[in-house]
């Protein structure tokens, strides 16, 4: 499991991230969708075929197998998440009503952001946290996994940005707090789909809407 994690974060994701420059496709709108869906598919294949771990053991199981508590809890969390982000991002959401390219936005921005949230949770909670908890116990495993999620390669670029704008260092506090919430929720429920959807929505409202602001109408 740890080999799968390091292969994805240490080799494959950096390779795909750099490939767009080598192939001169950095500005192609479809690249993000291709990159993220490829990563999501690869991680599922590696878990099942290389690590030989059933996907349900990393938290992926169908709705019919969710507990009654999960089926009641998730819609409430989803509604609260949407209400909070809609209130905070209302001007950006209102601006979408004036756009005529909502189809491409859905395919090239919304879908990749949801896949990105799924990939992060599958890798850092489903794989890394699961394995660290198995080896070191819940407390150490959850905290160590979340420290790597916060300060590891996923968000390390904030250190570079902080050289010119020290306020970026405060972003780590938010990342750690939100990550710890997802980590505890996953540890208690073992339901990866639930936190992956919430994470994906957060990426859409924060990063996705910012990305749309720089797109042509």
Per-residue pLDDT band for 84 (boundaries 50, 70, 90) equals very high
**Which among 113, 107, 123, 109 is positioned nearest to 212, based on CA atoms?**
109
User: Residue 129 class from Cβ within 10 Å (0-12 exposed, 13-18 middle, 19+ buried)?
Assistant: buried
So what's the pLDDT on residue 109?
92
Domain assignments of the chain as residue spans, ordered by start? 2-213
Q: What is the pLDDT of residues 67-81, one digit of tens each?
A: 999 999 999 999 999
Stretch 30-52: mean pLDDT? 91
Note whether 159 and 181 are within 8 A (CB): no
Tell me what the pLDDT averaged over the chain comes to.
91
- What is the crossing angle of helices 31-45 and 13-22, to 10°? 150
Position 41 scores a pLDDT of 94
Beta-carbon contacts of residue 43 (< 8 Å; ≥ 6 apart): 4, 8, 119, 122, 123, 127
In this model, does residue 49 exceed pLDDT 60?
yes
The verdict on pTM exceeding 0.95 is no
Could you read off the pLDDT of 91-140 as tens digits, one per residue? Answer: 999 988 888 888 889 999 999 999 999 999 999 999 999 999 999 999 99
């Amino acid at each position: 499991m740890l080999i799968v994690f390091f292969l994805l974060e240490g080799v494959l994701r950096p390779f795909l991230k750099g490939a767009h420059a080598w192939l001169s496709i950095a500005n192609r709108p479809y690249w993000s969708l291709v990159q993220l869906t490829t990563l999501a598919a690869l991680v599922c294949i590696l878990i099942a075929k290389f690590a030989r771990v059933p996907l349900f053991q990393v938290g992926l199981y169908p709705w019919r197998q969710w507990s009654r508590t999960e089926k009641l809890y998730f819609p409430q969390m989803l509604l609260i998440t949407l209400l909070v982000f809609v209130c905070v991002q209302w001007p950006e959401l209102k601006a979408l009503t004036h756009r005529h390219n909502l189809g491409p936005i859905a395919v090239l921005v919304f879908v990749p952001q949801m896949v990105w949230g799924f990939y992060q949770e599958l890798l850092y909670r489903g794989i890394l946290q699961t394995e660290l908890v198995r080896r070191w116990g819940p407390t150490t495993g959850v905290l160590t996994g979340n420290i790597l999620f916060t300060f590891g390669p996923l968000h390390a670029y904030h250190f570079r940005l902080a050289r010119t704008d020290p306020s970026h260092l405060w972003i780590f506090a938010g990342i750690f707090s939100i990550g710890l919430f997802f980590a505890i929720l996953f540890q208690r429920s073992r339901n990866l789909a639930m936190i992956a959807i919430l994470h994906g929505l957060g990426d859409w409202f924060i990063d996705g809407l910012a990305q749309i602001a720089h797109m042509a109408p």
